[in-house]
Amino acid sequence: DAKTTQPPSMDCAEGRAANLPCNHSTISGNEYVYWYRQIHSQGPQYIIHGLKNNETNEMASLIITEDRKSSTLILPHATLRDTAVYYCIVRGNNNDMRFGAGTRLTVKP
């Protein structure tokens, strides 16, 4: 019951922006949208999170639609090292993180 839907895989050319979509149509008002990524055989790495406003940090930007039913993670200039599985997770403040299948992003030279 991951509460999110993501495409299973995406490709992106190196140096281009990678836009990873996520649907979370049943999100509640107090639930945040989190993005993590997992590079092979490592623990998940936090990327960004938001409630309703768009967010940006040194790694990525998070665009959340006004109705909060979907969001997009943007890696502005993808590199080969960004190849990973990206997980979109919806979580309330006191709830645990439950992972869906994620999107396997492959950045190609």
Cβ atoms of 106 and 9 closer than 8 Å: yes
Q: Contact, 24 vs 88, CB < 8 A?
A: yes
Residue 82 contacts residue 107 (beta carbons within 8 Å): yes
| Closest to another protein by CB, 29 or 109 | 29
Q: Does 93 bind another protein (CB under 8 A)?
A: yes
Stretch that binds another protein, among 10-18, 20-28, 41-49, 68-76 (CB under 8 A): 41-49
Q: Count the alpha carbons within 13 Å of 33 in the hemisphere toward its beta carbon.
A: 29
d(CA 61, CA 78): 12
Stretch that binds another protein, among 7-15, 18-26, 34-42, 63-71 (CB under 8 A): 34-42
Q: Write down the least CB distance from residue 36 to another protein, Å.
A: 8
Task: By CB under 8 A, name the one of 16, 77, 98, 108 that touches another protein.
Answer: 98
Contacts with 52 (C-beta within 8 Å, 6 or more apart), sequence order = 64, 68
- Determine if 42 is a binding residue for another protein (CB under 8 A): yes
Which residues contribute to the site for another protein (CB under 8 A)?
36, 38, 41-46, 87, 93-94, 96-102
